[in-house]
Amino acid sequence: MKEMVDFFKALGCEWRIRLVEILSENNKCMCEIEAEFPIDKTTLSRHLKALKDAGIVREEKVGTRKNLFITDERVLEVIELVKKIIEDRKFA
């Protein structure tokens, strides 16, 4: 149960959800992600650490680059399902 709580806590921030969605389009290096996010590097690193600690994102060093990947594409299905539940509640 704790792993589930940690999973949802990691996704409990708009920036982290956006990070997962961006990584779903394509694996990216840290420098590419930094260019897409209007937050400071330290804050971005903290958000990525939370996602990595929850096992949602993993990092692989290739030469001097740090490439980031979603560990399981089903996390996107979870995000989409929650969006659908919220949307359905608006019309209930």
CATH of the domain at 45: 1.10.10.10
Give the count of beta carbons closer than 10 Å to the beta carbon of residue 56.
22
What values do phi and psi take at 9, rounded to 5?
A: -60, -40
For the chain, how many residues are written? 92
Instruction: Give the residue with greater pLDDT, 72 vs 64.
Output: 72
The domain of 53 spans 2-90
The residues near 2 (Cβ < 8 Å, ≥ 6 apart) are none
pLDDT at 6: 92
Number of structural domains (the chain) is 1
Alpha-carbon distance 88 to 27, whole Å?
31
Computed over every residue of the chain, the mean pLDDT equals 92
